Structure 1
């Protein structure tokens, strides 16, 4: 599962998708280097940079690839575990790598209210920190009630994205 990002031009949501898909969509809409965009991680709510310059041509004499399965996007990393952990992993269906992947995927699917709240806070601080009612909205976000009402007067796209990040039932993020 690839991380997704959302781009805003002012208070208007422009596009959303994986880093590669978002870059392609923004280039197609005519945005280039230096565009007045704010791009946010949908996982953390933090602002991030996006390279909108033309993709460089691959070098003709590219060095050989390292370990891993690059066609699948897999890169070799190192994991340090105790011997009993390795024994348990080895006894699982599919071996250590398959079991670790399953465990990570299960953990990713579990909602984490604290992480969602923190993502909404990071997003709101960056894009809505100067909007009326910001402080009250952040208090409501962390109190766990009244957030939707506190942001009701915010611009539509900012409000919808903040609610979606926070996991509020009223929040939805329609595709731009």
Structure 2
């Protein structure tokens, strides 16, 4: 069984001003009562992705679960266990090696993936953090002074330089950049 997906936390900006932050349902409620017509940019706090939400009254703040649609389309795999069959393209030598593994190809692939996730967890978290910060920076701060240098510092792992370059940016923009990039410096 799949566990319920938590309500993602979002941050909304009007220009460089942070106007709402928190769980999706709360941010949508706050944005619906705004009187001005200034464009709003909404970001997912975990990925830095810009979201396009329907803020009209009467539209649910949290979209309905697609589980019912997924159940109708599933047929291959083990749906009750959350296993969905997908396609993987490998070279013949890879298939030969997988066929010789105990438990078969699926067991071997799952084992390899789990090991790689464990071994590379820190590196993957750093990469995800840098990508999230970059997505946010590109959307909000792409035209600000020092953007290109800050992006270079971000991907080079230069946390101190990144903080110096982002520091002069608008007061609500810089802390969001730092927050999204926080895990990028964790192992350094």
TM range, normalised to the smaller chain?
Answer: 0.5 to 0.7
**In structure 2, the residue corresponding to 1:14 is in which secondary structure?**
strand
Task: Please identify the structure whose Cα radius of gyration is greater.
Answer: 2
Q: CA 1:84–1:136 in 2, change beyond 3 Å: closer, same or farther?
A: closer
Q: Distance in 2 between matches of 1:144 and 1:56?
A: 38
Unmatched 5+ stretches in structure 1? 16-24, 171-176
Q: Which has the higher helix share?
A: 2
Q: Which runs of 5+ in 2 are unaligned?
A: 33-39, 55-60
The aligned counterpart of 2:181 is 163
Equivalent residues, number = 153
1:26 aligns with 2:29: no
2:166 equivalent to 1:151: yes
* Counterpart mapping for 1:16-165 below 5 A: 25-27=23-25, 29=26, 31=28, 36=40, 38-40=42-44, 42=46, 45-49=48-52, 52=61, 55=64, 63=72, 65-109=74-118, 110=120, 111-112=123-124, 117-131=130-144, 133-145=146-158, 146-154=161-169, 155=172, 157-164=175-182
CA separation of 1:80 and 1:130: change in aligned 2, threshold 3 A: closer
Q: Distance in 1 between matches of 2:102 and 2:8?
A: 34
